[in-house]
Amino acid sequence: MKRLLTFTAAALLSSFAIAQSQTPAPSQTPQPGETAAPPAAAPQQSGSVFDALDANQDGNIAQQEAEAHPTVAENFTRADADGDGALSREEFAAAFKSQ
């Protein structure tokens, strides 16, 4: 159990470090009045971030699980396409895909 928690924490921290080190190009900066699209996760990273956030390993990310990642939590409602209160792997991939 400690190993799983340690691995999950390490995965989350590494994704936060990667996300914070990336600065959007000037053309990606939203103009006043525009809504910014959520940052895209790299294709090879989206599965590992999804798995790290899916704490109970049920194949979905609940709102409570999403709170561990600020970007996912902030965009949870928009990403929950079917409105069931959980993000499936497909909804997660569609919402946070590379653009």
Q: How far apart are CA 33 and CA 3, in angstroms?
A: 45
pTM over 0.85: no
CB neighbours of 1 closer than 8 A, spacing ≥ 6?
none
Residue with more model confidence, 53 or 35:
53
Using the structure block, give the residue that is written with the tokens 């600020």. 70
- Token duo for residue 3: 């190993």
**pLDDT tens digits, one per residue of 42-75:** 444 556 889 999 999 999 999 999 999 999 999 9
Task: From 41, 92, 96, select the one nearest 62 (Cα to Cα).
Answer: 92
Task: From 31, 44, 39, 43, select the one nearest 69 (Cα to Cα).
Answer: 39
Q: In a 10 Å sphere around its CB, with 0-12 CB exposed, 13-18 middle and 19+ buried, how is residue 73 labelled?
A: middle
Q: Say how many C-beta atoms besides its own lie within 10 A of residue 91's C-beta.
A: 19
Share of the chain above pLDDT 70, in %: 51
Query: Is the pLDDT reported for residue 86 higher than 70?
Result: yes
Which CATH superfamily groups domain 1-15+42-99? EF-hand (1.10.238.10)
